Structure 1
Amino acid sequence: MVKKAFSAPGKALLVGGYLVLDPQYRSYVVALSSRMHAVVSQAAPCDKKGFKITIKSSQFNNDEWNYMVEGEAPFVVRELDGRKNPFAEKVVEVIMNYCQPAPNRMGDILVEIYSDPGYHSVGTSILKRNSYKEFRFHDETITKVPKTGLGSSAGLVTVLVSALLSIFKPNLDVGAEEDLVTIHNLSQVAHCQAQGKVGSGFDVAAAVFGSVMYQRFDPELINKLPAADSLHYGQALRQLIDETDWKFMHENITLPPGLRLIMGDVNNGSETTKLVAKVKTWYQQNIPRSLEIYQKINQGNVSFIEGIGKLVSLSKESPSEYSSMLESLNSGTDFESYDIFRQIRQAVEQIRSKFRLITNESGADIEPLVQTQLLDQSLNLKGVLTGVVPGAGGFDAISLIVTEKSDIPSQTQNDSNFSSVTWLNLRQQNMGVKDEVPEHYANFT
């Protein structure tokens, strides 16, 4: 029996929210240590006209989806029990039409999905572990457990694509740029089709490549694909994946040494699609003023990215000065006398102030009042450089850039302002999708 395993990181879009939908704007995406996992195995072929792909997650009340693959391209897969999971379904459909296997020569495939603690609110879940991994097991189905906004759907799609692709392409190497681009392109297609629209793709890019400076691809690349049941779909898909230059930027980045990310979950996720729809409507109704506001946000984004870059350079060129700066930040004394710290804080405040304006005018809760208060209070904590509601905003977990030495949970332990916050045990992780050891996913107790 063939057995392989892969994982992909979550993400926090620190700057670039909403503007990332336009290819002209840069965004800054930090990949996180909480990862999605897929363990794939294939039974020996048997003499039958089709094969079954089972995708299951024992973490969520034994959620399971069974897809039958029969006939020939174009493959339109069907779930045997009528159960809906658009992301899993589209991955299966995209991979089948890209790889175009002969169903009568295939053995059944099983993919087991796991998600690290951090993707979902803790609730009444039970922590189970073995010698290698630990996961939280919930008594509800996955649709009923609140998400924290780390990009679970992008992570799921990326590891599913990697797992299934490895069955049909046994020499798949997730350490090779060419194979990573293939995984990225397939994942973007599946993710966009599952959502019913072409998103910006930054979450998939982070899941595949890790922490990146990102500028999106042209959405028409995916929009121009024929319908999945079209006779030309497989050929068009292969051409798009293998022969087309998507012209997107994914430059690997890292937070400056001595700084890390911490996220605070308020146990109340957001529906990104609804937020985006409201902001789009507001933007169209307020041109050219809305464009001017976007340009102000972009100025803040660029200033933030430049400030982070200056810190990385300073840490290499003048380690002692850099160390003193971190100490002042950690102690909470006089750190705003440093120009770079002040630049980063002012850049983020410029971004946040414009998003608060859009919140008030559009009705989209990009930075609702409760999150404004939480971020403002967080800026008073020792060791905190800055903080945002990442991505599309809303009630997802807040992100703070803090010093490695800071202990945010202990500072906020008895503070009523933070009584609703659960600090997630996360850190930056530069690596995107990677191989795992299949045997590390057994015997959780």
Structure 2
Amino acid sequence: MAVVASAPGKVLLTGGYLILDRPNAGLVLSTNARFFAIVKPLYDHLKPDSWAWKWTDVKLTSPQLSRESIYKLSLKDLTLENVSSGDSRNPFVEQAVQYCVAAARATLDKDKKDSLEKLLLQGLDITILGSNDFYSYRNYIEARGLPLTPDALAALPAFASITFNAEESNGENCKPEVAKTGLGSSAAMTTAVVAALLHYLGVVNLASVLHQEKDTTDLDTVHVIAQTAHCLAQGKVGSGFDVSSAVYGSHRYVRFSPEVISSAQVAVMGTPLPEVVLEILKGKWDHERTKFCLPPLMTLLLGEPGTGGSSTPSMVGAVKKWQKSDPEKSLDTLRKLSEANSALETQLNTLSKLAEKHWDDYKCVIDSCSILKTDKWIEQVGNPNQQAIVKALLGARDAMLGIRFHMHQMGEAAGVPIEPESQTKLLDATMSMEGVLLAGVPGAGGFDAVFAVTLGDSGSHVTKSWSSFNVLALLVREDPHGVSLESADPRTKEITSSISSVHID
């Protein structure tokens, strides 16, 4: 009776830096890169004396890192103690376990409490798996002399090992070096674990919720617990857009007020965790979520330039320091950046509406523009509808150029590489290719992956061109769906009875 849940990684299209402060919005796209969590009982049978146990066992397995951790969970105060050798801790999963069990204790009816305690006494066996897209295999591909193409990535086995550089040349073991692609692996992992545990423990029923758009109560519970666990594991309260998109999928996001998590941060010794969780669940979660995804016939592409990742926290710190030292100039730059973000959002929403109303014209324009450079797009106009479509396409491009300009300005003023020169050259070259609508650095920028939004079938031409720029095009695409209950362990194609999802009453 295993429960398998998955949650997607993200790309922040607009809202870098601004999204940290209300009421600024960001457009976040969820992707087909997903983290999976498999939860099942650790022991099949309860021992006769189990009613007297004060602790239960929790096993966490991460096959890609060849890691296994064993914890003892106190059934009294829900503290979690790592009893495995080595320092293979995972604070995100640890917080998720404690807060999910506390949520179950706090919210379940009396008649469900018995089955909850029985489930806990059977122990928790948790396995986490991340799509290859979360990790960089660029060095692996280059070391084997393979071409930098998506085909080389597609040839890797699913959930490939990520313990690169696990041994030094002298044979001594060192910590595996894991390079990431910036898709928000910790948020997707935390969300998948929270969703699987809450469903397994009977707090939510994801089987029914995923088909209902109107009643999001259970998803909202997953969101609140995942945000709290993620913030506590990180040691700070972030904007939360990555967890929000992992739960709900692509959308326009305005952050929650950080105070809503304060009761968890200052969880006083002696306050039972279920009480803390109840307070958080009842808190004033004032984040805003509006429907948004890319217009039809558009593809999100990500490319890994191979210049190494950037540290988002240190870049954010530098920008905040600049804001304090030059409030007037920084406010002006941020205002202009915000206007450019809004302009891009408006044009993309306009394109979605035009596609809905005038599909034939829309498809005709996208197909034509997908094989042409921008300066030829206007020549594709045959009637007023097509004119409106091309106008919105060009408006979106102009807005993107504005976003890039102001992000670059901000980086120069703050002394951090938000759009480094190497990225500028790559993005300019990308935006001049046939069929490319947008290109930019997602989120906080830096040397992480670059993104492009392409029209029609022009994506394959872009990925080939990127290869000549020494950029590895990833297999990531937009998938607007959020957290999901899976029917089976993702490592097995066939569904067996032992791993089909069961809702526990």
| Normalised TM-score (structure 2) | 0.80
Corresponding residue to 1:57 among 55, 62, 82: 62
Residue 124 (1) aligns with residue 140 (2) = yes
Who is 1:382 aligned against? 434
1-structure distance, mates of 2:103, 2:431: 48
Who is 1:157 aligned against? 190
Q: Is the 8 A contact 1:226 1:236 kept in 2?
A: no
Who is 2:219 aligned against? 180
Change in 2 beyond 3 A, CA 1:202/1:276: same
Listed as ranges, the matches of 1:315-326 within 5 Å are 315-326=355-366
Once the two structures are superposed, what CA deviation does each residue of 1:93-152 show, in whole Å capped at 9, x if it has no partner? 32233334759961121111111121111143898999xx93322343796121001110
Q: What is the DSSP-based 3-state SS (H/G/I as helix, E as strand, rest coil) of the residue aligned with 1:281?
A: helix
Percentage identity across aligned positions?
30
1-structure distance, mates of 2:368, 2:259: 48
1-structure distance, mates of 2:370, 2:120: 61
1-structure distance, mates of 2:271, 2:366: 58
Q: Which moved more, 1:433-442 or 1:232-241?
A: 232-241
Q: What is the DSSP-based 3-state SS (H/G/I as helix, E as strand, rest coil) of the residue aligned with 2:102?
A: helix
| Normalised TM-score (structure 1) | 0.91
Amino acid at match of 2:218: D
Residue 366 (1) aligns with residue 424 (2) = no
Change in 2 beyond 3 A, CA 1:164/1:204: same
Residue 403 (1) aligns with residue 455 (2) = yes
Who is 1:199 aligned against? 238
Listed as ranges, the matches of 1:252-267 within 5 Å are 252-267=291-306
Residue 313 (1) aligns with residue 353 (2) = yes
Corresponding residue to 2:476 among 408, 423, 426: 426
Q: What is the DSSP-based 3-state SS (H/G/I as helix, E as strand, rest coil) of the residue aligned with 1:438?
A: coil
Residue 16 (1) aligns with residue 32 (2) = no
Whichever structure has more helix as a proportion of its residues is: 2
Amino acid at match of 2:362: Y
Who is 2:34 aligned against? 35
1-structure distance, mates of 2:406, 2:275: 41
Q: Is the 8 A contact 1:172 1:179 kept in 2?
A: yes
Listed as ranges, the matches of 1:229-244 within 5 Å are 230-232=269-271, 234-244=273-283
> What RMSD over aligned residues (CA atoms) do the two structures have, in Å?
2.6
Residue 286 (1) aligns with residue 337 (2) = no
Q: Is the 8 A contact 2:301 2:459 kept in 1?
A: no
Residue 437 (1) aligns with residue 487 (2) = yes
Residue 335 (1) aligns with residue 377 (2) = yes
Who is 1:97 aligned against? 102
Q: Is the 8 A contact 1:70 1:103 kept in 2?
A: no
Q: Is the 8 A contact 1:148 1:265 kept in 2?
A: yes
Shift of 1:245: 3.3
Amino acid at match of 2:80: V
Change in 2 beyond 3 A, CA 1:166/1:229: farther
Q: What is the DSSP-based 3-state SS (H/G/I as helix, E as strand, rest coil) of the residue aligned with 2:2?
A: strand
Amino acid at match of 2:83: L
1-structure distance, mates of 2:231, 2:324: 23
Change in 2 beyond 3 A, CA 1:372/1:103: farther
Q: Is the 8 A contact 1:71 1:103 kept in 2?
A: no
Whichever structure has more strand as a proportion of its residues is: 1
Change in 2 beyond 3 A, CA 1:135/1:415: closer
Q: Is the 8 A contact 1:56 1:112 kept in 2?
A: yes
Q: Is the 8 A contact 1:412 1:418 kept in 2?
A: no
2-structure distance, mates of 1:355, 1:365: 10
Change in 2 beyond 3 A, CA 1:226/1:114: closer
Q: Is the 8 A contact 2:38 2:489 kept in 1?
A: no
Once the two structures are superposed, what CA deviation does each residue of 1:132-180 show, in whole Å capped at 9, x if it has no partner? x933223437961210011101000000111222232265225251110
2-structure distance, mates of 1:363, 1:49: 54
Q: What is the DSSP-based 3-state SS (H/G/I as helix, E as strand, rest coil) of the residue aligned with 2:125?
A: strand
Change in 2 beyond 3 A, CA 1:294/1:411: closer
Q: What is the DSSP-based 3-state SS (H/G/I as helix, E as strand, rest coil) of the residue aligned with 1:413?
A: helix
1-structure distance, mates of 2:264, 2:467: 52
Q: What is the DSSP-based 3-state SS (H/G/I as helix, E as strand, rest coil) of the residue aligned with 1:365?
A: coil
Shift of 1:236: 4.7
Q: Is the 8 A contact 1:6 1:162 kept in 2?
A: yes
Who is 1:212 aligned against? 251
Change in 2 beyond 3 A, CA 1:349/1:179: same
Q: What is the DSSP-based 3-state SS (H/G/I as helix, E as strand, rest coil) of the residue aligned with 1:387?
A: strand
